[in-house]
Amino acid sequence: MQHITLTGQQILEMALFAGIMVDDKYPLNNAEKETEFKLACNMKGIEIKSEDEPENTGKYTHAIWVAEDPKEGALPLGDKLSA
C-alpha cells in the first residue's frame, strides 16, 4: 500500500485549489493545521472496518486517517470495490 502524509493545512490548501468553499468563521487552529493525515491508495483494496458506521465497512481503493492514531479508524474515499 502506498501512502502520503499531509497536514491539515495542506488539505485545506487542496480544498481551496479545488474551488471548495471553506467557512472563514471557523479557521483552523495551529494544532489542526499541524495534524498529519495519511492518505493511502491500494488498487487491490484497503479493508475498512467501522463499528460506528457499518455501512462504510468494506474494501476501498483510497482511505485517509489521522497519522498519530490510526486505531481511531479510517475514512474511506470513493465507492466500495465490488466483491
pLDDT tens digits, residue range 21-51? Answer: 988 888 999 999 999 999 999 999 999 988 8
pLDDT in the model for residue 56: 87
The domain total for the chain is: 1
- Could you give phi then psi for residue 71, rounded to 5 degrees? -70, -15
Which pTM does this prediction carry? 0.83
* 82, part of any domain: no
pLDDT in the model for residue 40: 95
Average pLDDT over residues 3-27: 94
Cα(43)–Cα(59) distance, rounded to whole angstroms? 10
DSSP E strand boundaries for 1-83: 2-7, 36-48, 58-66, 75-77
- Could you give phi then psi for residue 30, rounded to 5 degrees? -60, -40
* 83, part of any domain: no
Q: What residue numbers bound the domain in which 59 lies?
A: 2-77
Cα(26)–Cα(46) distance, rounded to whole angstroms? 32
